[in-house]
Amino acid sequence: MTMPADPADYRAVWKSKLVLRIVYEGLYERIVKACRPGRTLEIGGGSGNLKAFSPDVVSTDVLPADWLDAVCDAQRLPFAPERFDNIVMFDVLHHLERPVRFFEEASRLLRPGGRVVMLEPGITPVSRVFYGLFHHEPVDMTEDVMADGALDPSRDPYDSNQAIPTLLFGNRKRRLLFEARFPVLKVMTAEKFALAVYPLSGGFRSWSLVTASMVKPLTAVEDFFAPLLGPILGFRLLVVLEKRP
């Protein structure tokens, strides 16, 4: 099975696949719940649907699309300091060439107490095998994610390394290193979850091994076990950072 080629194709799959919409509804609910009240900037909105779950959102992406409010790069954002209460990225951090540039921008744009909320692939012993076999995006656990340097203007925005979020936030040592580099950003949450329903749904592929009616009850069961099993089986990583006053 192939993945859609562009955001419009992702939107078409989104409209036609009920299981996908129910799975993602749960993911968007987690994002919205983690946000502070106030103004939200969405980065890398792409084919996304955050506005459907949280109306007061400025949606942006580095690639243009009719439904976005602005086109901009996460690594150099054209907004005034302390403009936003939340910055949301859903499956975007692992596409960034220089993640540190984004966190510098986030530190600048957030109001004190404001949050960065990111939902990303989580690399665990089980997800690593699955992503390696069935997902087109690479997992490179050797990348120096704190490296800075010039941005390549010809880089494909869909280039990726699914390991980036885990390399930054996957364990306590990594989180401490992050906070040492960005002392203004406190790591509030770094949870691995989504044990089975998400991979069994097939994501944006045309197949699913779960039915729409199974998604919510199965997700409730796996959420119960996630604190214990997430570090071994989780496919997703929710990271919440808060700007210190």
Ligand X SMILES: C[S@@+](CC[C@H](N)C(=O)[O-])C[C@H]1O[C@@H](n2cnc3c(N)ncnc32)[C@H](O)[C@@H]1O
Positions touching ligand X (CB under 6 A) are 43-48, 61-63, 73-75, 90-92, 95-96, 157
Please, what is the minimum distance in Å from the beta carbon of residue 123 to ligand X?
A: 16
List C-alpha distances in Å: 111 to 50, 187, 242.
21, 16, 10
> Taking Cα atoms as reference points, which of 191, 172, 223, 181 lies closest to residue 118?
191
Q: Which C-beta is closer to ligand X: that of 147 or that of 176?
A: 147
> Taking Cα atoms as reference points, which of 229, 193, 198 lies closest to residue 131?
198
Please, what is the minimum distance in Å from the beta carbon of residue 183 to ligand X?
A: 24
Please, what is the minimum distance in Å from the beta carbon of residue 46 to ligand X?
A: 2
Please, what is the minimum distance in Å from the beta carbon of residue 63 to ligand X?
A: 4
Q: Which C-beta is closer to ligand X: that of 56 or that of 113?
A: 56
Q: Which C-beta is closer to ligand X: that of 94 or that of 243?
A: 94
Contact between 80 and 58 under an 8 Å Cβ cutoff? The reply is no
Distance CA 215, CA 47 (A): 22
Q: Which C-beta is closer to ligand X: that of 6 or that of 213?
A: 6
| Residue with the CB atom nearest ligand X in the bound state | 46
Please, what is the minimum distance in Å from the beta carbon of residue 230 to ligand X?
A: 20
Return the half-sphere exposure (C-beta side, CA atoms, 13 A cut-off) of residue 205. 13
What does the DSSP 8-state code read for residue 17?
A: -
Q: Which C-beta is closer to ligand X: that of 96 or that of 168?
A: 96
Distance CA 103, CA 74 (A): 9
Handedness of CA 123, 150, 66, 53 (dihedral sign): positive
Q: Which C-beta is closer to ligand X: that of 150 or that of 180?
A: 150
Distance, CA of 169 to chain centre: 13
Looking at this protein, which amino acid is placed at residue 208?
S
Please, what is the minimum distance in Å from the beta carbon of residue 71 to ligand X?
A: 9
β-strands 110-121, 236-243 pairing: antiparallel
